[in-house]
Amino acid sequence: MKAKILGGLVAAALLAFGAGAQSLTPLPAQPEGLAYPTSGWQTGELPPDSKAAVEALVAEAMGKSVKDMMGETRGLVIIWRGRLVAEAYGKNFTPQTRQISWSMAKSVTQALVGAARQAGADIELDSPMPTLYPADSKAAAITWRQWLNAVDGMDYHELDGDPNPIKSDVVQLMYGDGRFDALGYAMRAFPLVHAPGTFWTYSTPTFHNIGYALQVTLGTEGNAEDSKAAFDRILFDRIGMDTVAEFDSKGTYLGGSLIWASARDFAKFGYLYLRDGVWDGQQILPEGWVDFARAPGPAANTNVYGAGWWIIPAKGPLTHRQNADSDPRDAFHAGGHEGQTIWVVPSRDLVIVRLGLMPNEGENWPALYEWNQRIARAFPEVQ
């Protein structure tokens, strides 16, 4: 009976955000008597049957250099059933060291939108999202949902773009002509070429646009200091996450790429999603927001992306190599340039954070994905 009730709640939450009645693995509840890690993680022991395998995988990761497959690991945290059960750091890195998220920021931005909505901000997913595009343009009609699912239709190429830095869309956006005014550059350089809602493109400027819209909605447009205070109020302070968010010279929150936090704090962020947006009895994210994040988006050209989060399809083949293709299939993750991952696995009540320096080329990403999955498979399934 309990499983049937949970399944019904998941389906209802999905329908609430228009994600369809796809079956998703239920998100596990907080263990009784365990405090949320707002002020710090309680430690625990690895399960006996998992200990040898997990310790070997941690040692494997920590023993690699940047030249090795999967690159150099600089921070590693494993949370199982709400406790920190494994942790390791590279030379000159500590539990307090803030490290860069790169594109894990996209998942954080999705959370900030949800937290703002839960806090009372006027955000309706199927209404046009505030942007700098002219009011009479097609782009001005793109909805929050379409932006969050990265199906806005911009002619932008990041994962499949030109590797030449002079021609790379993402390099030019962040370090070239777009470095001082990201959105102004994006409007000039990346016109709409697909009908919104029909075609998925992995896109940093998409989440920069969402960051701007979030600021407009919160009344902090163009003001980095006020925006940081608002982000802390609605999300970061509430879960005890000490972050640094970056802004361009226009004061626009760069929500696609630049959040800094420690490995332990990134684990808190993943844990918020593992616990269905609830923290210490408070609904931080709207009910159903996590399922919106981990359910497939509407575009037929991808089966590996939800809303700001990467997902694993129940059956292959993958539409893009930027994901795992093995069990457990309920895992979903935030991912960032050079090998940053927050791996959330409901069926194992597990969060794995790996921060490092890894070349993006070759088989490095598939190796990192499979390493996360090997750790996940080493833990027992939730009963």
Residue pointed to by tokens 């030019």: 172
Confidence at residue 135, expressed as pLDDT on a 0 to 100 scale = 97
Q: Which two structure tokens, joined as six digits, stand for 268?
A: 């808190």
Tell me the C-alpha to C-alpha distance, in Å, between residue 51 and each of 57, 185, 213, 262, 271: 10, 50, 45, 25, 21
Q: What is the pLDDT of residue 21?
A: 41
- Strand 340-345 and strand 350-357: pairing? antiparallel
Residue 162 CB coordination number (10 Å): 12
Tokens 């954080």 belong to residue = 108
Q: pLDDT, tens digit, for every residue of 81-122?
A: 999 999 999 999 999 999 999 999 999 999 999 999 999 999
pLDDT at position 10 = 45
- pLDDT in the model for residue 15: 47
Question: Can you give the length of the chain in residues?
Answer: 383
In the chain, % of residues over pLDDT 90: 89
For residue 96, give both structure tokens.
């307090």
Using alpha carbons, select from 179, 174, 274, 284 the residue that is nearest to residue 239. Answer: 284
* Euclidean distance between CA atoms 135 and 131, whole angstroms: 9
Instruction: Please say whether the beta carbons of 113 and 134 come within 8 A.
Output: no
Distance CA 160, CA 209 (A): 21
Q: Kindly tell me if the per-residue pLDDT of 145 is higher than 60.
A: yes
Structure tokens at 25: 């693995």
Measured between alpha carbons, how far is 2 from 262 in angstroms, rounded to an integer? 37
Region 162-170 average pLDDT = 84
Maximum distance among all Cα pairs of the chain, rounded to whole angstroms = 62
Q: What is the pLDDT of residues 233-252, one digit of tens each?
A: 999 999 999 999 999 999 99
Contact criterion met (CB below 8 Å) for 272 and 279: yes
Mean pLDDT of 268-288: 98
Tokens of 191: 């016109």
Condensed to tens digits (0 to 9), the pLDDT of residues 304-331 reads 999 999 999 988 789 988 899 999 999 9
Map 208-244 to HEC letters: HHHHHHHHHHHCCCCCHHHHHHHHHHHHHHHHCCCCE
Q: Specify the DSSP class assigned to residue 334.
A: E
What is the rounded average pLDDT of the residues 254-277? 98
What is the rounded CA–CA span in Å between residue 51 and residue 278?
29
pLDDT surpasses 90 at 293? yes
Q: Is the pLDDT of residue 7 over 70?
A: no
Alpha-carbon gap, residue 126 to 144, rounded angstroms: 6
pTM to 2 decimal places: 0.95
Enter the tokens of residue 162.
Answer: 């030109």
pLDDT of amino acid 18: 62
CA-nearest of 2, 30, 1, 26 to 12 is: 26
Neighbours of 288 (CB within 10 A): 22
CA atoms of 3 and 5, how far apart (whole Å): 5
Using alpha carbons only, what angle is made at residue 322 by residues 213 and 181, rounded to the nearest 5 degrees? Answer: 30
- The 3-state DSSP class for residue 177 equals coil
Give alpha helix (H) positions in the chain.
2-16, 51-62, 104-118, 144-148, 169-175, 182-189, 204-218, 224-231, 237-239, 263-274, 289-294, 364-378
Rg (CA), the chain: 20
Q: 43-72: per-residue pLDDT in tens?
A: 999 999 999 999 999 999 999 999 999 999
Residue type, 374: R
**pLDDT band, residue 25 (cuts 50/70/90):** very high
- Strand pairing partners for 80? 83, 350
Helix ranges (H only) for 119-223 are 144-148, 169-175, 182-189, 204-218
Phi, psi of 169 (to 5 degrees): -60, -45
CA 261/CA 337 separation, integer angstroms: 15
